Amino acid sequence: MEDPVQTPTDLDVLRRRVQQAIDGQIAGATQSLAVIGDETAPLVSAVSGLLSGGKGLRAGFLYWGYRAAGGADSDALVRLAASMEFFQGAALLHDDVMDRSDTRRGMPSAHRAVAALHRARGWAGDADRFGEGTAILAGDLCLTWCDELYATCGLPAEELARGRRLFDTMRTQLMGGQFLDLLESARGWDGLDLDARIASARKVIRFKSAKYTIEHPLLIGARVGGTPEDSLAPLSDYGLALGEAFQLRDDLLGVFGDPEATGKPAGDDLREGKRTVLVAHALDAASHADRETVEGLLGRDDLDLAGVEAIRGVLVDTGAVERVEGLIGDLADDARKAVGRARESGAYDASALDVLEALVAVSTARHT
């Protein structure tokens, strides 16, 4: 076992250990599929390919929630943390199908890759439907392996039982958040003022991203580690604020990020027609002509680089980017203040809180 992670600069150490746990879970669970035969290889590849080389953010927050509660480092803890990565894998696989995304982390998304395999082998039927069906099953497999790894990580059963309610809540609420995102895209913003549009966008952020990215993994770790439920408020406040800031940064990167760094084509979020806080501010402040430009281009599958640049110009010129940057800064400050309240409570390990405070900058950096 490698030395325990002590600071955010050592996150690569924890990430490697989490990856080893992921690989071990896939290798062991794949034995259950071996009796079916080699035909299931594309299904397993869809999972292993996606879960190779990720940031390990959710695993990291579960790990540090446990350490903040006073729990010790162990390989069993790392395996528990790795269960969060399988949960994210399920969310990404399903989300890419729903959003019809072509790429993920610089590679073809799972449903596109499997569709290409179908075509290359000359199989019968619709290649795209085959790819989508396989990706959905791969996501379901991730949910199964997430649950299995949680239960068999090696920590005492009584510890795991403390976190189970939050674990189940996390999974249920993410599905609700995913549906909320679909619903908002379908019914649009017609008739809503700026405040209502921003409230709608931030509600999607909270339940589709912020809770399962930071708040819930952190709280699960803390509860498993022994923190009483009535002492969780500072960590909950931290997780919600930082989780929203993280997603707002991701929204900016989805429009302005370097494809080499984001792993997605330039302006991909614009093609998907995502109704974000960024877009809400731009539409509110834009001239009639600029508003028509954005509304006419947003959500078009054939949006080219010139169209992306046109929308980017409106986002910058209206001050929407500046407003979102300001909101990210305010939320980051809220997260730091929550760490301060956690310190004052005396309920948490000080060195773990140091890491959580430093992770604010890591999670909201402009290259995240």
AA identity, residue 174 = L
Region label for 357, one of left (φ > 0), alpha (ψ between -120 and 50) or beta (otherwise): alpha
**Count of domains observed in the chain:** 2
Check residue 366 and give its pLDDT.
Answer: 74
Alpha carbon distance 366, 207 (integer Å): 23
Check residue 258 and give its pLDDT.
Answer: 85
Check residue 272 and give its pLDDT.
Answer: 86
Alpha carbon distance 213, 207 (integer Å): 10
Two tokens, residue 222? 């803390």
Two tokens, residue 348? 């948490």
Same domain for 143 and 173, yes or no, is no
Same domain for 233 and 360, yes or no, is yes
Same domain for 200 and 316, yes or no, is yes
pLDDT tens track for 38-83:
999 999 999 999 999 888 999 999 999 999 999 999 999 999 999 9
**CA-based radius of gyration for the chain:** 21
Beta bridge partners of 107: 104
Same domain for 169 and 62, yes or no, is no
Two tokens, residue 152? 């068999």
**Cβ(106)–Cβ(265) below 8 Å:** no
Check residue 144 and give its pLDDT.
Answer: 97
Domain boundary among 138, 155, 172: 155
Alpha carbon distance 73, 76 (integer Å): 8
Two tokens, residue 54? 């990720």
Same domain for 18 and 89, yes or no, is yes
Give the domain range for residue 125: 1-155
Same domain for 150 and 177, yes or no, is no
The H-or-E segment that residue 119 falls in is: helix 110-120
Alpha carbon distance 37, 176 (integer Å): 35
Same domain for 166 and 110, yes or no, is no
Same domain for 148 and 210, yes or no, is no
Domain boundary among 155, 189, 215: 155
Alpha carbon distance 236, 348 (integer Å): 13
Same domain for 150 and 296, yes or no, is no
Check residue 269 and give its pLDDT.
Answer: 87
Domain boundary among 123, 139, 155: 155
Same domain for 70 and 198, yes or no, is no
Alpha carbon distance 203, 81 (integer Å): 26
Same domain for 99 and 213, yes or no, is no
Domain at 265, CATH number: 1.10.600.10
3-state secondary structure of 347: coil
Mean pLDDT by 10 residues, the chain (368 residues): 47 93 94 91 94 92 98 98 98 94 89 96 97 97 98 98 98 96 89 96 96 98 98 98 97 89 81 93 97 94 94 98 98 99 98 97 82
Polymer length in residues for the chain:
368
pLDDT tens track for 209-219:
999 999 999 99
Same domain for 105 and 126, yes or no, is yes
Backbone φ and ψ for 107, nearest 5 degrees, come out as -125, 160
The H-or-E segment that residue 160 falls in is: helix 157-187
